[in-house]
Amino acid sequence: MNTEDRKAPPPDLSQLRPGENHLRTLYVVAHDQADQLELSVLFENADYKVRSFVSAESLLAMVNQNTAGVLIMDHSPEDMSGLALLAELKKRGVGLKTIFISKCGNIKAAVQAIRNGAIDFIEKPYTSQQLLNSVEEALSQANTEVESRQARNTVDNRYEQLTRRELEVLKFLVRGDSSRKLAERFGLSSRTVDIHRTKIMRKLQAATIPDLVRIAYTSNDVLPEEVLIDIRQSPHFLDDKEAG
């Protein structure tokens, strides 16, 4: 059984490749050692990596914003209520998917847990399969978020290569504006606009305009919205030399 270990680092998300659901780390908080052992054995036999904690404080010392996986909380830790721990994790930006286990049939507590971001609230007694199904669903959500974050980071890195002019052209390009219309808007020649478009597509690794639109919508900073100022009057609008 894996016991509490403050020195072991959280899973490195950079090692997770998009499309591969191999994030299988579970964090178990249970102040009762018998419950902790039972859960650890169940999950390890199901090929999960388990990290067990007896208190909320020990868990908080272990996780950070890059931690991914599922948190299974059996009763509230003695040093902090389960809802308080959930709130603290959210405050610190820790995105663990949380499953509460309780022997109390308290509907109000279940509702509060779900409202505060818990994935599931399982009442004792439960079957092993019921708990494993809940964990698998939670891990599926965690993997999806990791892949989405990786895709966003990849796109953001590509956007860093674009100049201010190229970013401004892109906002109108993904709306479907033609080179002629863009040339009129910016006071440029159609050829200069085409050069900007070629550079944008190369830097963003877009093979087609639909690819470009899809990539643009991955970034909330580059949505095809109307620009509320006259771009040609913008102090950040670079001169045409950068198009060469």
CA-to-CA distance for 115 and 101, rounded, in angstroms? 16
| Tens of each residue's pLDDT in the chain, 244 residues | 444 443 444 444 434 333 334 578 999 998 888 888 999 999 999 999 999 998 899 999 999 988 889 999 987 666 678 888 988 999 999 989 999 988 766 677 778 888 888 899 998 889 999 999 999 999 998 888 877 777 777 877 888 888 888 888 888 888 778 888 888 888 889 899 999 999 999 998 888 888 888 887 766 555 544 433 333 344 433 444 444 4
Q: Which fold has domain 161-243?
A: Arc Repressor Mutant, subunit A (1.10.10)
- Tell me the CATH architecture of domain 13-154: 3-Layer(aba) Sandwich (3.40)
- Where do the structural domains in the chain lie, given as residue ranges? 13-154, 161-243
For β-strands 25-30 and 70-74, DSSP reports them as: parallel
Alpha-carbon torsion, ordered 126, 127, 130, 134, to 10 deg:
60
Q: Looking at the whole model, is its pTM more than 0.85?
A: no
DSSP state, residue 16: P
Question: According to the 3-state scheme, what is the secondary structure of 122-185?
Answer: EECCCCHHHHHHHHHHHHHHHHHHHHHHHHHHHHHHHHCCCCHHHHHHHHHHCCCCCHHHHHHH
What are phi and psi for residue 99, nearest 5 degrees? -120, 125
Residues near 122 by Cβ (< 8 Å), separated by ≥ 6?
A: 99, 100, 101, 102, 130, 131, 134
Q: Do residues 50 and 4 lie in contact, with contact meaning Cβ atoms separated by under 8 Å?
A: no
